[in-house]
Amino acid sequence: MDIAPAARAAPRYWVHLLLFLLTVVTTFTSYLLYFHFQRPYSLDEVTAEAAQRALSFSLSLLAILGTHEMGHYVLARIHRVDTSLPYFIPLPVLGVGTLGAVIRIRDRIPHRNALVDIGAAGPLAGLVVAIPILYWGLSHSTVVDAPQVPSRFPGDASLWAYGREVFAWVMAKVTHAPPEPEPVFNGVQTIFGDSLLMQGLTRLALGPLPEGKDVLVHPVVIAGWFGLLVTLLNLMPMGQLDGGHLAFALLGRHAHWVGRAMAAVLLFLTLFVTASWGLWLLVTSKVVGFGHPEVLEPLEPLSPTRKWICALCMLALIGCAMPVPLRQVVS
């Protein structure tokens, strides 16, 4: 006797719409809190212009994130893999107001060619939207005077630097050394890391920047920058990240060694460049992991076109890479 498979639950479109609208609100308010308001905060600063800038940031960011997930969704449906529409994840007050968006894949991937198509479609689709947004935003940005901030190795925010400070504090307590005078701070400046892709787009939109100059960016540039960061994180060849799908399609069961090598790179960056990479190292190694489920038809060969797509995604990973995504500089 054949048993009919259980019927799928009807799509709840209102859930997807509600989460999208909530994420518009949280990203809108996060822009005002972290990129517009002067401290202490004042509601008098929420002018029509400020609201317009916050909305342009919110919609640009969600366009990039939404296109990324829709790339996965469309290619999954083309390969007849059952999947959900994107779920946006609002994050009130913290960060940029969202943890991104996800889709739920309910079926096994049929073969390695489909795995490449589905895995690569997200980051490549996101870049197709992010690059013109960044170029337009940079073209509408302003070049201003700015002091050069030197880079150090080990980085000031690395675990090595923090450990050195803790050691110095302990030794000062043990030896009863007189306390050093407290430095006077005028403010904290957030500096966004420059990837090769960001540097190229800046040069294309504004020309070479003279020494002592920087860019006061339009809000959509900040959204595009976070879009590049999301692309970078997803393209890392680890577990079931987008890059992990591509690595498994190319290398099969040996792909986990590539993921472990990437984890070693993240550990190095955490120890000697910036401790902020430690969170992503923890997420990828303990939550995402290094394994990957087998496809249904493992013997179907990977086509040459899919190998070129993997190479293109590798170039995208290199273009989006930035050793220090964000720096807090005290002046």
Q: The whole model's pTM is what?
A: 0.88
Chain centroid, CA 271 distance in Å: 20
Residue 316 has pLDDT above 90, yes or no: yes
Three-state SS sequence of the chain = CCCCCCCCCCCCHHHHHHHHHHHHHHHHHHHHHHHHCCCCCCHHHCCHHHHHHHHHHHHHHHHHHHHHHHHHHHHHHHCCCCECCCEEEECCCCCCCEEEEECCECCCCCCHHHHHHHHHHHHHHHHHHHHHHHHHHHHCCEEEECCCCCCCCCCCECHHHHHHHHHHHHHHHHHCCCCCCCCCCCCEEEEECCCHHHHHHHHHHHCCCCCCEEEECCHHHHHHHHHHHHHHHHHCCCCCCHHHHHHHHHHHHHHHHHHHHHHHHHHHHHHHCECCHHHHHHHHHHHHCCCCCCCCCCCCCCCHHHHHHHHHHHHHHHHHCCCCCEEEEEC
Q: Which of 79-93, 182-196, 302-316 has the lowest mean pLDDT?
A: 182-196
193 vs 10, higher pLDDT: 193
How far apart are alpha carbons 75 and 115 in whole angstroms?
10
Residue 41 has pLDDT above 60, yes or no: no
The pLDDT score that the predictor gives to residue 86 is 94
**8 A C-beta contact, residue 113 and residue 300:** yes
- Give the pLDDT band (50/70/90) at residue 216: confident
| Structural domain boundaries in the chain | 13-153+194-330
Condensed to tens digits (0 to 9), the pLDDT of residues 67-108 reads 999 999 999 999 999 999 999 999 988 888 998 999 999 889
